[in-house]
């Protein structure tokens, strides 16, 4: 899993939405979203599922496919 590829995918998925919107929907902080989008951290498995569900995609597509 390449953190920078994941970060880019997350930024693209979020698009024009505010980080706060994604954070609230996923039960995490906007700062956590910023860390994921900058490639500084990878979310835990349960948060990966929440993020994928929010964006209507799969964990596999976001975090494991290049």
Distances from the Cα of 5 to the Cαs of 11, 18, 23, 24, 41, in angstroms? 10, 20, 20, 24, 12
Supply the pLDDT for residue 62: 96
pLDDT of 65 > 90? The answer is: no
**Tens-place pLDDT, residues 13-53:** 999 999 999 999 999 999 999 999 999 999 999 999 999 99
pLDDT of 66 > 90? The answer is: no
Q: Which residue has the tokens 């994604």?
A: 22
pTM (2 d.p.): 0.92
């Amino acid at each position: 899993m390449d953190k920078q590829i994941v970060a880019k995918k997350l930024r693209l998925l979020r698009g024009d939405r505010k980080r706060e919107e994604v954070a609230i929907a996923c039960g995490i902080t906007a700062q956590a979203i910023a860390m994921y989008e900058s490639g500084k951290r990878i979310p835990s498995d349960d948060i990966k599922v929440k993020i994928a569900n929010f964006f209507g995609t799969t964990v596999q597509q976001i975090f494991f496919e290049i």
